[in-house]
Amino acid sequence: MRRRKKAEPKPRPESWIVERDTKLNGRHVEPGTELTIRDHSGRKIRTKFVELVHNDSIGESWMTVTEIDRRSGDSLRVRSFDIGRVLTVHMKRKGKKR
């Protein structure tokens, strides 16, 4: 069997501003920081922060996060006011063990 080729990411529009380091709920957040968010049904989901995106053309902003419990590695896009808590204690940095 042949291996599947990885899909190349689509280029982002120029009106998007991407931030990898930011502050949420008064805490410094960088890629890999664990967050708790609430979905539309009210349940809590533990996620890892990837990036914060601002779209100036429509005045919207959202965060890209990945779910910790899933092994698929799918990313989610959530609004910043859906964040419940920033969990900096469980943050894993590259090259350091948990």
> So what's the pLDDT on residue 73?
64
Q: With pLDDT > 90 as the criterion, what percentage of the chain qualifies?
A: 0
Beta pairing partners, 86: 35
Confidence of residue 31 (pLDDT cuts 50, 70, 90): confident
Write the CATH number for 31. 2.30.30
With CA atoms as reference, report the closest residue to 49 among 36, 62, 32: 32
Residue 8 belongs to some domain of the structure: no
Residue 81 belongs to some domain of the structure: yes
Structural domain tally of the chain? Answer: 1
For the stretch 61-84, pLDDT in tens is 888 888 776 666 677 777 766 777
pTM above 0.85, yes or no: no
Residue 25 belongs to some domain of the structure: yes
Distance CA(56)–CA(38), nearest Å, equals 26
* Enclosing domain of residue 78: 16-87
- Pairing assessment for the beta strands 44-55 and 34-38 based on DSSP bridges: antiparallel
Residue 43 belongs to some domain of the structure: yes
Residue 56 belongs to some domain of the structure: yes
Residue 82 belongs to some domain of the structure: yes
For the stretch 13-24, pLDDT in tens is 888 888 888 888
